[in-house]
Structure 1
Amino acid sequence: MKDVISQYRIDKEPYYRAVSDEIAVYDAAYSVRMPMMLKGPTGCGKTRFIEYMAWKLQKPLITVACNEDMTASDLVGRFLLDANGTRWQDGPLTIAARFGAICYLDEVVEARQDTTVVIHPLTDNRRVLPLEKTGELVSAHPDFQLVISYNPGYQSVMKDLKQSTKQRFGALDFKYPEPAIEEEIVSHETGVPREIAGKLVSIAKMARNLKGHGLDEGISTRMLIYAGNLIANNVEAKRACRVALAAPITDDPDMRDALDAAVTTFFG
């Protein structure tokens, strides 16, 4: 059964640039197995942070990308039919609880509320996971921790987390890094010079000011890395910005023109 969990170990250090005291705070939270919530806009580094922390703590990390079609069975497991009849297969949450992994539910608010209720017994002093279909009560491994993420600025009231869920977690707020740090991240991840990384960050800053004024979301750090990778692979800078920055976030012609103007400002 060791092979079940070994595939989730992170052997190579992920690059993560701390912006505050988040590493120390998370270290303290993990030491008491406090369930944690990572809050912040899309593409600001939440997933990379938890990957880095799993590597630092030398714990396996099981990531679940939540969606509105996800059921409780997708998390905890289900019965399957094979040549020998019926067998039970653990879901990712159950595997994490049994073997002591960090379970990361990415964009948890996208899941149905009746699905997220299954995490409640794991996020208080009980630290158990009832498997109703088998009658088993799984006691969480001492190393198990549950981490969730979501983007509070993007969710509608109808899709927000219940207070009964929120209050089971400590929370770390993430935002886009300060320009100098974001330049460092983009340059490191893509290999482009700091001057080009700085121009990309400046474009993102202008676009983020348009959030709520024609754009649902600003340009994320992840998108800047995409643009930088294209530039590093000999795509002309303005074209790279249109492909990686402008086209993905809007189809509105006026917004496209505004973003193109920003790109032209910095790349001529």
Structure 2
Amino acid sequence: MLDFLKKEGIHPHLIQELEQFRSAFGTEPEVANRIRTPRYYYYGTKIWEEALSALLCGEHLLLTGPKATGKNVLAENLAAAFGRPLFNISLSINTDAASLIGSDTWKNGEVTFREGPVSQSARFGGFGVLDEINMAKNEALAVLHEALDFRGSIDVPGYDRIDLHPACRFIATMNYGYAGTRELNEALTSRFVVIDMPPISEDYLAKLLRSEFPDLSPAWNTQFCRIFQELQKKCESAEISPKALDLRGLLASVRLIKKGLSPLEALRLGIGNKIFDPYERKLVDDLFLIRVSEKQSAAELFQ
């Protein structure tokens, strides 16, 4: 990760502080398997520098923005860059305080406390990723207030207080407008530094495709970038819904092509067929046909 950050032109002072952080904090053997090598890299020097600066200052992050902006990819990348165990916490309307901090369980003939992911992050100095934080009820998230402010601790009713490890950080992600989302409580929002994630640029998407598919021809790398940018423009102008703006779907489509599926069929499977409105699906399919011939073979796309 450090080599990647240097290559991306991250300020040397930030990389130096990051190296000092990694040297200062070790990892308990029981959570060493949670230090992951990211599947994808996040590309965006400005966002990287903002996020690193905030976390090195001891702040917690809230990543906001529309679909396909790389919020979860960045969160995973940050945990790897800091060399910390990663605890993913997927939130929903059914999330309660016990599922976050833990609950009673029966073990060896006695009642003991079984830690939740927030408690584990606090104790082991992990990076807790609170995914889709605005889907959970505010009363469930109230348990985070004490952990995220100057107190830096969690009181577990009936047990003891857990003080946050100095390497512990929480990174929350949220999308606006998804079904089941709600306004985030002001008291909770004030405890985060907020980064508004921009849509992925054509240059950064090209880098992502090159790193994932090094044998993809430059011409087709450009074509897939243009397809995604045109989908982005249609979403911004409300011609189509955001369902079509699927970066995971684009990457899945290229993988299907590499397996031998025709480019047009792969794009339909990865992106087009996820749109259930017939009019929108036709618009997206027409966009594909402008860039990809029905007779195009998979072998032509790779070097």
With normalisation by structure 2, the TM-score equals: 0.80
Q: Does residue 7 of structure 1 match 2:30?
A: no
Give the aligned partner of residue 170 of structure 2.
146
CA offsets, 1:164-191, max 9 Å, x none? 2111111112122211221221232234
CA distance in 2, matches of 1:50, 1:20: 15
Q: Is the 8 A contact 1:14 1:55 kept in 2?
A: no
Give the aligned partner of residue 226 of structure 1.
252
Q: Is the 8 A contact 1:68 1:110 kept in 2?
A: yes
Q: Does residue 73 of structure 1 match 2:98?
A: yes
CA distance in 1, matches of 2:240, 2:124: 46
Pick one of 198, 210, 230 that aligns with 1:175: 198
CA distance in 2, matches of 1:224, 1:130: 44
Q: Is the 8 A contact 1:209 1:218 kept in 2?
A: no
CA offsets, 1:64-84, max 9 Å, x none? 121221111111101123452
CA distance in 1, matches of 2:212, 2:83: 23
Q: Is the 8 A contact 1:80 1:87 kept in 2?
A: yes
Please state how far the C-alpha of 1:209 moved relative to its aligned partner.
2.9
Q: Does residue 97 of structure 1 match 2:108?
A: no
Identity %: 18
Spell out the pairing of 1:117-156 with structure 2 (5 A cutoff).
Answer: 117-132=142-157, 134-152=158-176, 154-155=177-178
Aligned length: 264
CA offsets, 1:65-119, max 9 Å, x none? 2122111111110112345232211000000001111111111111122111111
Q: Is the 8 A contact 2:91 2:130 kept in 1?
A: yes
Pick one of 81, 87, 92 that aligns with 1:62: 87
Higher relative CO (Cα under 8 Å, sequence separation at least 6) belongs to 1
Please state how far the C-alpha of 1:256 moved relative to its aligned partner.
0.9
Q: Report the residue type matching 1:5 in the other structure.
A: V
Pick one of 237, 244, 247 that aligns with 2:273: 247
Give the aligned partner of residue 27 of structure 1.
52
Which aligned segments of 4 or more residues in structure 1 are displaced greater than 4 angstroms? 155-158
Quickly say closer, same or farther: Cα 1:238–1:53, change in 2 above 3 A.
same
Q: Report the residue type matching 2:147 in the other structure.
A: L
CA distance in 1, matches of 2:187, 2:180: 15
Please state how far the C-alpha of 1:61 moved relative to its aligned partner.
1.4
CA distance in 2, matches of 1:38, 1:162: 15
CA distance in 2, matches of 1:199, 1:186: 11
Q: Does residue 210 of structure 1 match 2:234?
A: yes
Give the aligned partner of residue 12 of structure 2.
none
Structure 1 stretches lacking a partner, 5+ long: none
Q: Is the 8 A contact 1:208 1:217 kept in 2?
A: no
CA distance in 1, matches of 2:285, 2:178: 28
With normalisation by structure 1, the TM-score equals: 0.90
Please state how far the C-alpha of 1:13 moved relative to its aligned partner.
5.5
Please state how far the C-alpha of 1:258 moved relative to its aligned partner.
0.7
CA distance in 2, matches of 1:224, 1:140: 39
Q: Does residue 197 of structure 1 match 2:235?
A: no
Q: Does residue 237 of structure 1 match 2:260?
A: no
CA distance in 1, matches of 2:174, 2:145: 17
Q: Which moved more, 1:166-175 or 1:86-95?
A: 166-175
Secondary structure of 1:56's counterpart equals helix
